[in-house]
Amino acid sequence: MQSASRYLLAILTCGFAFLRPVAQCPARPDPGTVVEDTLSLNSVNGVLDAAFVMRHSVDSGGYNHYCYNYQSGSGEVEAPTLRLNRGDQLVLKVKDEIESDDSSEMSPMGSMSSSGPTCGDTGTPTLSSTNVHFHGLNVPPICHQDDVLTTLIQPGKPAFQFNMQIPKDEPPGLYWYHPHIHGFTEFQVNGGAAGAIVVEGMDKIRPEVAGLTERVLVIRQEYLVPWVPGPYQLTINYQVAGYPNTPSPLIKMKPHEKQFWRVANATIQDFMPLQVQFDGVPQMLELIALDGYPLAKPRFQDTILVPPAGRAEFIVQAPAKGPAAILTTRFYSTGPTGNPDLQQRLADIDVYGNEDETLPARTAEPTPRTSVGRIKYADLSKQKPTTLRKLFFSEEFGGTNGPIQFYITVDGQKQKVFEADEKPVITTHVGAVEDWIIENRALETHAFHIHQIHFKVLEVDGKPVKDQDLRDTIEIPFWEGPGHPYHSVKGRFDFRDPTIAGTFVFHCHILLHEDLGMMHKILVLPK
Ligand SMILES: [Cu+2]
């Protein structure tokens, strides 16, 4: 990764000289304090209307902050959680006030302006440009909705307005928003520009969660210089999880209390095998949903692997007072050319007070009011695929310094990095149901993500899986080298919904890889 980084580092270092370290972003929580949910903005009468201002500052430790500022009644809040019901309208105005006097020359990844009509502002995308991707939402890839290819919000211009309806059959669950300017995504997400979206209604499909204290936990990752492999720190709702150097964030629970935790991996590249441990022993977690999609049936796991950009929603039960209880991410190997994802304690569970007696003990299995069989994609396993495609991740080496090019390629086509004005590498049509095999031929684990739709996981490494979960992001482990087979995932991709017609992207969600072009376009033609 170093060679590619060198070029970027040069740009970045030059860029820093011009950045004004004005404190524009709200202060973040001190270490060792109670983890609070970020402010939630709820839809009212079917509409959630909010305005964000994107700003930038550098903290005393040298970390860049990129913040979605929201002016609440009691001051400025960073990246609130957006809560909507299915069928609601989301109106979001975003103004770019990233102050960077001379970033106009910085356009390492090419310009969007050559890719045809732009949506919003014109000009060349720079480190100070922004836009918003609504990750996981099954909404149209068009201007003012979820179109990252041409939407450009430039600093100092009037606010840009997003306006979209959450589909009536959207799976209830946890989604998230973040900037997606090609070439600069990593830098802004590294600075914390990411927030949660909750599509309400999980309790109607999974009554297990009804009445439980709910927590939205957004895990972010910050590097001092994101393009350089090296130390990083994780944060949980913006509080640094720096154990053992700093006291751990605290999550409060009553003895034996059950809570519903909705965890978003908003890191730039950290694959997180999450565990809750009591005195070092991993506990069973009741997994309810992945990537905003309720599982066909809840299942118990002591480790939940969440790739970068993935989400996991699960029920945690506190111990009695006594054992040391923690939320932790375990070490995860991303292969010989990948960055190591380190073990890190994310929070201490602080068991306080007396047993929670507000909830009646459940004796029978609760009955869902909405069947999981009635949400989007539920009938996907019954559909006959219209096409089978094979794609692969690969890396190209230059010298001894690690990979310099990152590719995702449709098998049979030429390996190439993404360019803003490229033609779609896949053309399909509304109504298609396709099976894709995505293979990893690189010595590094990658995270496959496609915009606009979820896909159903059918096979891993050529073998049918028991749990055919719906995902929008999935890890594909690294190749162990000559003599070993490539790891792969086979998924069923559903293009039947006419509202997703248009051009959108699929890519690796290690954001450096995406910025360097491990991404391509797919065109879904209307019927
Ligand atoms: Cu990747």
What's the pLDDT score for residue 342?
A: 94
Of 274, 145, 294, 150, nearest in space to 208 by CA: 294
What's the pLDDT score for residue 168?
A: 93
Report the separation in Å between the CA atom of 509 and the middle of ligand 1, taken as the mean of its atom positions. 6
Contact 266, 188 (CB under 8 A): no
Report the separation in Å between the CA atom of 210 and the middle of ligand 1, taken as the mean of its atom positions. 37
What's the pLDDT score for residue 5?
A: 43
Q: Cα–Cα distance between 321 and 353 in angstroms, integer?
A: 9
Report the separation in Å between the CA atom of 416 and the middle of ligand 1, taken as the mean of its atom positions. 14
Report the separation in Å between the CA atom of 402 and the middle of ligand 1, taken as the mean of its atom positions. 14
What's the pLDDT score for residue 240?
A: 97
Report the separation in Å between the CA atom of 384 and the middle of ligand 1, taken as the mean of its atom positions. 30
Contact 128, 203 (CB under 8 A): no
Of 103, 342, 315, nearest in space to 207 by CA: 315
The token duo for 58 is: 């550098």
Q: Looking at the DSSP assignment, which residues form a beta bridge with residue 175? A: 197
The token duo for 449 is: 């993500």
Report the separation in Å between the CA atom of 309 and the middle of ligand 1, taken as the mean of its atom positions. 12
Q: Cα–Cα distance between 46 and 42 in angstroms, integer?
A: 9
The token duo for 222 is: 């910050």
pTM of the model: 0.93
The token duo for 8 is: 């970027």
Report the separation in Å between the CA atom of 14 and the middle of ligand 1, taken as the mean of its atom positions. 26
385 burial type by CB count under 10 A (0-12 exposed, 13-18 middle, 19+ buried): middle
Report the separation in Å between the CA atom of 46 and the middle of ligand 1, taken as the mean of its atom positions. 38
Q: What are phi and psi of 149, to 5 degrees?
A: -75, -35
Report the separation in Å between the CA atom of 261 and the middle of ligand 1, taken as the mean of its atom positions. 27
Contact 444, 335 (CB under 8 A): yes
Report the separation in Å between the CA atom of 475 and the middle of ligand 1, taken as the mean of its atom positions. 9
Q: Cα–Cα distance between 100 and 88 in angstroms, integer?
A: 36
Report the separation in Å between the CA atom of 233 and the middle of ligand 1, taken as the mean of its atom positions. 20
Q: Quick check: helix, strand or coil at residue 202?
A: helix
> Mind listing the pLDDT tens digit for each residue in 70-123?
999 989 999 999 999 999 999 999 999 997 644 444 444 444 444 555 899 999
Report the separation in Å between the CA atom of 236 and the middle of ligand 1, taken as the mean of its atom positions. 23
Contact 488, 437 (CB under 8 A): yes
Contact 43, 85 (CB under 8 A): yes
Q: Looking at the DSSP assignment, which residues form a beta bridge with residue 502? A: 524
Report the separation in Å between the CA atom of 517 and the middle of ligand 1, taken as the mean of its atom positions. 10
Q: What angle do CA 477, 495, 206 make, to 5 degrees?
A: 70
Q: Cα–Cα distance between 499 and 54 in angstroms, integer?
A: 29
Report the separation in Å between the CA atom of 497 and the middle of ligand 1, taken as the mean of its atom positions. 28
Pairing status of strand 519-525 against strand 463-464: unpaired
Contact 89, 132 (CB under 8 A): no
Where are the alpha helices (H) located in 342-381, listed in sequence order?
none
C-alpha distances in Å from residue 87, one per residue of 138, 200, 213, 488, 500: 12, 11, 25, 35, 16
Q: What angle do CA 65, 67, 73 make, to 5 degrees?
A: 135
Report the separation in Å between the CA atom of 92 and the middle of ligand 1, taken as the mean of its atom positions. 30
What's the pLDDT score for residue 18?
A: 43
- pLDDT profile of the chain (527 residues), mean per 10: 42 43 81 97 98 95 95 95 98 91 45 62 93 97 96 95 96 97 95 98 95 97 84 96 97 97 98 98 98 96 98 97 93 93 97 73 63 84 95 85 85 96 97 98 97 98 97 98 97 97 98 96 96
Report the separation in Å between the CA atom of 446 and the middle of ligand 1, taken as the mean of its atom positions. 4
CB contact set of 400 (below 8 Å; sequence gap of 6+): none
Contact 98, 66 (CB under 8 A): yes
What's the pLDDT score for residue 37?
A: 97
Q: Cα–Cα distance between 76 and 72 in angstroms, integer?
A: 6
Report the greatest alpha carbon distance in the chain: 65
Q: Cα–Cα distance between 2 and 119 in angstroms, integer?
A: 34
What's the pLDDT score for residue 365?
A: 60
Q: Cα–Cα distance between 474 and 446 in angstroms, integer?
A: 8
Report the separation in Å between the CA atom of 445 and the middle of ligand 1, taken as the mean of its atom positions. 7
Q: Cα–Cα distance between 152 and 135 in angstroms, integer?
A: 17
What's the pLDDT score for residue 7?
A: 43
What's the pLDDT score for residue 360?
A: 52
What's the pLDDT score for residue 401?
A: 64
Q: Cα–Cα distance between 311 and 449 in angstroms, integer?
A: 12
Report the separation in Å between the CA atom of 322 and the middle of ligand 1, taken as the mean of its atom positions. 42
Cis ω before 464 (30° cut-off from 0): no
**3-class SS string, 431-463:** CEEEEEEEEECCCCCEEEEECCCCEEEEEECCE
The token duo for 51 is: 């305005």
Contact 99, 126 (CB under 8 A): no
Report the separation in Å between the CA atom of 205 and the middle of ligand 1, taken as the mean of its atom positions. 34
User: What is the DSSP annotation of 295-329?
Assistant: EEEEEEES-EEE-TT-EEEEEEE---SSS-EEEEE
Report the separation in Å between the CA atom of 447 and the middle of ligand 1, taken as the mean of its atom positions. 6
Report the separation in Å between the CA atom of 352 and the middle of ligand 1, taken as the mean of its atom positions. 42
Q: Cα–Cα distance between 168 and 148 in angstroms, integer?
A: 23
Report the separation in Å between the CA atom of 459 and the middle of ligand 1, taken as the mean of its atom positions. 20
Q: What are phi and psi of 407, to 5 degrees?
A: -125, 145
What's the pLDDT score for residue 239?
A: 98
How many angstroms from the chain centroid is the CA of residue 227? 19
431 burial type by CB count under 10 A (0-12 exposed, 13-18 middle, 19+ buried): middle
Report the separation in Å between the CA atom of 254 and the middle of ligand 1, taken as the mean of its atom positions. 40
Report the separation in Å between the CA atom of 442 and the middle of ligand 1, taken as the mean of its atom positions. 9
What's the pLDDT score for residue 356?
A: 64
Report the separation in Å between the CA atom of 43 and the middle of ligand 1, taken as the mean of its atom positions. 35
Q: Cα–Cα distance between 169 and 501 in angstroms, integer?
A: 17
How many angstroms from the chain centroid is the CA of residue 124? 26
Contact 189, 472 (CB under 8 A): no
Neighbouring C-beta atoms of residue 158, cutoff 10 Å: 12
